[in-house]
């Protein structure tokens, strides 16, 4: 009887030891998790270097018609002074067609997605309504058109702007616009803003990661197509889209009622002040906040994200493997030393280090296969020398193989990963509870139920 009690106490202590050891092994697991994050930061820095040399993500806005004017204003003491202002008018109709040509670029082992694109813009401005001007206008300047491009370094060739059948050279704005960003400007002093103005332009634009558009027109239609199988559509407007044959087509139609942007707004500098200002004309705010939309060229194979997710399951793998060893010890009577548990736990942790190392060079799928086979093989061979029996060794190898297959499936099921993980863990717990009831924990090995 005393022997049975000692065995029961021994199994209890061994169970507590396994639980404690599993928690201790969380320390190297967290270290591996930190390694994944560090490698991800290194990747992001490398990608940033590629993007900065190529061109940053692009946002295209405009064209917007700008009409400078001077007016008299009075201060609080009724002293008059002149103030130079500009009224900005959006197009009545704006249509943008964009064709994307994505490319993969590398910096060492790190990859980023860049693109070349051909952007075609056309539309028209309605005849200017002078009632939009404030009182006291004494003079007009030369009207011009401004187009916003967030990173002008991405413009290729020599784009030409056409208006009412005339061609104009495109210049560079001297300041950054509050709404459109970095500016391209077109001097249209020979055009009459009192008439309807039709315009068109086409240019090549390089960028990285994403391309976005501002729906500055009272009616804005944007069409984007490209050879990319996994586009991500960003912004506050959802497009109509199709994805087929490794490419996509997307269409947005945004009306003036849909966007948070003024149809006209003023900006300028007072002659007795260096303060720049922007204010609207009562028709909305002159802001692009929440208005831009576009396409994000998503790299669906993010080995760091997948590796980081897999590390979160480390404690489950360690604990379940220890449970298998423990039940083998209980059912066969073979004593397994704590150091042997430690060695197996370290092998399980090293799986994740192998995974990220291979994934950076071979991709996640192949890295997972190689690391999984190596880890399962190592533990199986070691278990064979410990168990000295074929049946428990084969059982352990089968369980480990099933666990690694199960984890891989979860990592691929992005939308239902939580459901699959929860159901799987429930089934695993049920199996453990089934086998645990065969053990009489108070009496030890001699009281294992058949």
**Confidence bin at 423 (pLDDT 50/70/90):** confident
Residue 441 has pLDDT above 80, yes or no: no
Displacement of CA 274 from its chain's centroid (Å):
40
**Confidence bin at 438 (pLDDT 50/70/90):** low
Task: Please report the pLDDT score of residue 287 as a whole number.
Answer: 43
Task: Please report the pLDDT score of residue 443 as a whole number.
Answer: 55
Residue 280 has pLDDT above 60, yes or no: no
Distances (CA, A) of 439 to 85, 327, 436, 443: 87, 9, 6, 9
Residue 308 has pLDDT above 80, yes or no: yes
pTM score = 0.73
Residue 418 has pLDDT above 90, yes or no: no
pLDDT, tens only, 346-392: 888 888 889 888 988 888 889 999 999 999 999 899 888 888 888 88
| Residues sharing a CB contact under 8 Å with residue 434, sequence separation 6 or more, in sequence order | none
User: Span 400-425, mean pLDDT?
Assistant: 77
3-state secondary structure of 317: helix
The closest alpha carbon to 371, from 321, 408, 345, 396, belongs to 408
Residue 421 has pLDDT above 80, yes or no: no
3-state secondary structure of 158: strand
| Residues sharing a CB contact under 8 Å with residue 436, sequence separation 6 or more, in sequence order | none
**Confidence bin at 54 (pLDDT 50/70/90):** confident
- Asked if 61 and 180 count as a contact pair (C-beta separation under 8 A), the reply is yes
pLDDT, tens only, 63-103: 999 999 998 888 777 888 888 888 999 999 999 999 999 98
Among 145-159, 200-214, 396-410, the least confident range: 396-410
Which range in 13-17, 136-140, 421-425 is most confidently predicted, on average pLDDT?
136-140
User: Span 147-171, mean pLDDT?
Assistant: 90
User: Tokens at residue 357, please?
Assistant: 């190392």
Instruction: Show me where the domains of the chain are located.
Output: 2-44+303-447, 57-297
Task: Please report the pLDDT score of residue 272 as a whole number.
Answer: 39
Task: Please report the pLDDT score of residue 39 as a whole number.
Answer: 85
Whole-number Å distance between alpha carbons of 312 and 411? 11
Arithmetic mean of pLDDT over the chain = 82
Residue 2 has pLDDT above 50, yes or no: no
Whole-number Å distance between alpha carbons of 379 and 399? 12
Among 154-158, 201-205, 378-382, the least confident range: 154-158
- Report the interhelical angle of 303-311 vs 390-412 (nearest 10°): 130
| Residues sharing a CB contact under 8 Å with residue 164, sequence separation 6 or more, in sequence order | 191, 195, 197, 198, 199
Whole-number Å distance between alpha carbons of 229 and 242? 10
Task: Please report the pLDDT score of residue 36 as a whole number.
Answer: 86
Question: What stretches of 142-230 show up as alpha helix (H) in DSSP?
Answer: none
Percent of the chain past pLDDT 70, that is, above it, reads: 87
- Count CA atoms within 13 Å of residue 86 on its CB side: 22
pLDDT, tens only, 238-273: 899 998 888 999 999 999 888 888 888 887 544 433
User: Tokens at residue 245, please?
Assistant: 């044959």
- Asked if 25 and 349 count as a contact pair (C-beta separation under 8 A), the reply is yes
User: Span 22-44, mean pLDDT?
Assistant: 84
Is 379 or 6 the better-scoring residue by pLDDT? 379
β 93-107/219-226 pair status: parallel
Q: Which residues pair with 374 in a beta bridge?
A: none
Looking at residue 283, the DSSP 8-state letter turns out to be S
Task: Please report the pLDDT score of residue 64 as a whole number.
Answer: 93
> Nearest-5° angle of CA 332, CA 334, CA 335?
140
User: Span 143-148, mean pLDDT?
Assistant: 93
């Amino acid at each position: 009887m005393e022997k049975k009690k000692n065995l029961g106490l021994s199994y209890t202590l061994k169970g507590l030891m396994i639980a404690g050891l599993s928690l201790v092994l969380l320390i190297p697991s967290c270290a591996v998790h930190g390694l994944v994050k560090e490698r991800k930061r290194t990747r992001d820095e490398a990608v940033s270097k590629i993007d900065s040399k190529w061109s940053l993500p692009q946002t295209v806005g405009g064209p917007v018609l700008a009409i400078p004017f001077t007016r008299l204003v009075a201060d609080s003491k009724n002293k008059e002074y002149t103030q130079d202002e500009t009224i900005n008018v959006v197009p009545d109709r704006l249509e943008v067609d964009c064709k994307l040509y994505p490319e993969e670029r590398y910096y060492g082992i790190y990859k980023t997605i860049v693109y070349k694109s051909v952007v075609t813009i056309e539309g028209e401005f309605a005849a200017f309504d002078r009632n939009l001007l404030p009182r006291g206008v004494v003079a007009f300047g030369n009207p011009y058109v401004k187009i916003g491009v967030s990173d002008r370094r991405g413009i290729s060739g020599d784009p030409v702007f056409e208006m009412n059948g005339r061609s104009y050279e495109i210049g560079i704005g001297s300041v950054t616009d509050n709404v459109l960003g970095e500016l391209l400007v077109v001097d249209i002093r020979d055009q009459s803003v009192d008439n309807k103005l039709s315009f068109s332009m086409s240019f090549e634009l390089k960028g990285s990661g994403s391309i976005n558009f501002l729906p500055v027109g009272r009616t804005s239609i944007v069409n984007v197509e490209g050879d990319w199988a996994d586009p991500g559509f960003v912004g506050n407007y959802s497009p109509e889209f199709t994805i087929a044959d490794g490419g996509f087509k997307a269409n947005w139609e945004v009306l003036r009622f849909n966007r948070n942007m003024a149809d006209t707004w003023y900006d300028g500098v007072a002659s007795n002040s260096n303060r720049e200002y922007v204010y609207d004309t009562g028709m909305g705010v002159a802001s692009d906040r929440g208005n831009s939309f576009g396409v994000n060229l998503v790299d669906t194979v993010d080995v760091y994200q997948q590796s980081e997710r897999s590390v979160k399951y480390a404690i489950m793998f360690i604990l379940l493997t220890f449970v298998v060893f423990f039940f083998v010890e209980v059912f066969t009577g073979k004593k397994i030393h704590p150091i042997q548990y430690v060695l197996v736990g370290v092998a399980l942790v090293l799986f994740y280090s192998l995974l990220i190392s291979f994934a950076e060079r071979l991709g996640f799928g192949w890295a997972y296969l190689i690391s999984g086979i190596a880890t399962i093989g190592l533990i199986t061979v070691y278990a064979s020398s410990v168990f000295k029996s074929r049946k428990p060794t084969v059982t352990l190898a089968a369980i480990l193989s099933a666990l690694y297959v199960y984890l891989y499936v979860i990592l691929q099921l992005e939308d239902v990963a939580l459901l699959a993980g929860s159901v799987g863990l429930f089934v695993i717990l049920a199996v453990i509870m089934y086998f645990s009831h065969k053990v009489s924990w108070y009496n030890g090995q001699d009281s294992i139920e058949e």
